[in-house]
Amino acid sequence: MNSTIHTENLSKRFGHTDAVDGVNLAVPEGAIYALVGPNGAGKTTLIKMLMNIIRPTAGSAQVLGIDSRRLTGKAFNRIGYVSENQELPEGMTVGGMLDYFRAFYPTWDRALESQLVHQFDLPLARRLKHLSRGMKMKAAFASSLAYHPSLIVLDEPFSGLDPLVRDELIEGLIELAPETTIFLSSHDLAEIESFSSHVGYLEDGRLLFSEEMSVLSDRFREVTVTLAIPAPLPLELPASWLQPQTEDCVLRFVHSDYNEEASAREVAERFPSARNIAYDPMSLRSIFLAIAKSNRNHSASTQEQGSAKEVVA
């Protein structure tokens, strides 16, 4: 399958900080790709590089087959971009803005525009500067969907919006852009879980993984082992077992490389006295929390080891 977005070692450095560090990413055509990660992970910087708003320090990106550094002018006929921080022509009315943008796009669909205006309940005569944040986002969505873009890039589009507006925007996005590739960044794991086909996790500028949502859901399980007698946490556990913790006779961990047969055998071998072993599917939110926490624990323990070595030295 062709990639709508493809990056190779894409990096951005601000002073001594690596905002984005060697990201290799492939977004298949027609995918709804959700880029998630904590605050300051580099999501906005990555998106700004893809949109040629800022230039990468190293590496390259192809967007719709065009080098991102050459993404200007007519190339944006096929791209819709909406960001939480984006400014709109505040002095214009909603109708004036749509009229103005219409002339820029040869593929502008007036019927779709009317449908979007109706669906989002946009007040055409009101100036953008007098609209609420939610309404502004709706106006931005309408002006970015009405020309059937091949790619829609959304940077934290639902942040700070009330659930009703969020649902309306998601509905509009899925219904009205079925043939479009959507690339969005978000903190809102619960929302993106319902409609994303692919997911990538960015932390400290590094892409920790990027895969299909179904594969990710299949790969992660919350494992609960009920032992016959209380036992301490074993010292050596596989690296794919995240956040192990024990309480009396119950041991819990997150299996990040779950395979029905192999995992069952592996757990049974390690805990022969187990009375019961349960494998529960996890929500996207639980998966990301587990990854984020285990990464933090890992980096903290690495730092502690480093400090200990320094003290010994």
Partner 1 sequence: MKQILHIFKKDVRLFCGEIVIVLSLVAACASIYYYLLAIDPQFRSSSFEAGGKLARMIPLLIFFITFAWILLVCRVIQAERLAGDTQFWITRPYEWKKLLTAKLLFIVTFIYLPSIAALFILKIESGLLLHTNLTRGLLGGIGDFLYGITSFVLVAAALATVTSSIARMMGGILLAFISMTAVMLIPYRMRPDTVAGPLSVGLCFVLFYLLCGAAILLQYARRKTRISIALLIAIPVLICAIHLFTPERRPPDRIQPSPSTVNKPT
Which one among 2, 104, 233, 307 touches partner 1, defined by CB under 8 A? 104
75 binding partner 1? (CB under 8 A) = yes
Cβ at position 79, least distance to partner 1 in Å: 7
Which one among 19, 23, 32, 51 touches partner 1, defined by CB under 8 A? 51
235 binding partner 1? (CB under 8 A) = no
272 binding partner 1? (CB under 8 A) = no
Q: Which is nearer to partner 1, 45 or 186 (CB)?
A: 45
Cβ at position 74, least distance to partner 1 in Å: 5
Cβ at position 8, least distance to partner 1 in Å: 22
Q: Rounded to an integer, what distance in angstroms lies between the CA atom of residue 266 and that of residue 290?
A: 21
Count of residues of this chain found to bind partner 1 when the rule CB under 8 A is applied: 26
Neighbours of 67 (CB within 10 A): 12
73 binding partner 1? (CB under 8 A) = yes
Which one among 77, 217, 226, 295 touches partner 1, defined by CB under 8 A? 77
Choices 7-15, 103-111, 182-190, 236-244; region in contact with partner 1 by CB under 8 A: 103-111
66 binding partner 1? (CB under 8 A) = no
Choices 11-19, 67-75, 180-188, 276-284; region in contact with partner 1 by CB under 8 A: 67-75
Q: Which residues contribute to the site for partner 1 (CB under 8 A)?
A: 48, 51, 53-54, 72-77, 79, 81, 83, 85-89, 91-92, 96, 100-101, 103-105
